[in-house]
Amino acid sequence: MKKEELINYTVRENEDGMSIKNFLTHKELSRHYLIKLRNNDKVTVNGKIYKFWNPVSCGDLITINPYLDDVSNVSPVKMDLDILYEDADYIALNKDFNTVTHPTPGHMDNTIANGVLYHLQCSGYKSLHPINRLDKTTSGVIIFAKHPIAQHALTLNRPYKEYIALVEGIVEKDHELINLPIAKIDAPSIRRIVTQNGKESRTEYFVLSRSDKYSLLRITLHTGRTHQIRVHLSHIGHPLVGDFLYGEENAPRLFLHSNIMIFKHFRTNKEVRVIAPQPPIFNSYLKA
- Catalytic residue of the set 135, 186, 212, 243: 135
What single-letter amino acid sits at 193?
A: I
- The verdict on whether 135 is a catalytic residue reads yes
Gap between the Cα atoms of 202 and 271, Å rounded:
24
What single-letter amino acid sits at 109?
A: D
- In 10 A of CB 175, how many CB atoms? 11
- Write out the DSSP string of the chain: --GGGSEEEE--GGGTT-BHHHHHHTTT--HHHHHHHHHTT-EEETTB---TTSB--TT-EEEE-----PPPSSPP------EEEE-SSEEEEEEPTT--SS-BTTBSSSSHHHHHHHHHHHTT----EE-----TT-EEEEEEESSHHHHHHHHHSPPEEEEEEEEES----SEEEEE--EEEPSTT---EEE-TTSB--EEEEEEEEE-SSEEEEEEEESS--TTHHHHHHHHTT-PBTT-TTT-----SS--EEEEEEEEE-TTT--EEEEE-PPPHHHHHHHH-
Query: Residues with catalytic annotation?
Result: 135
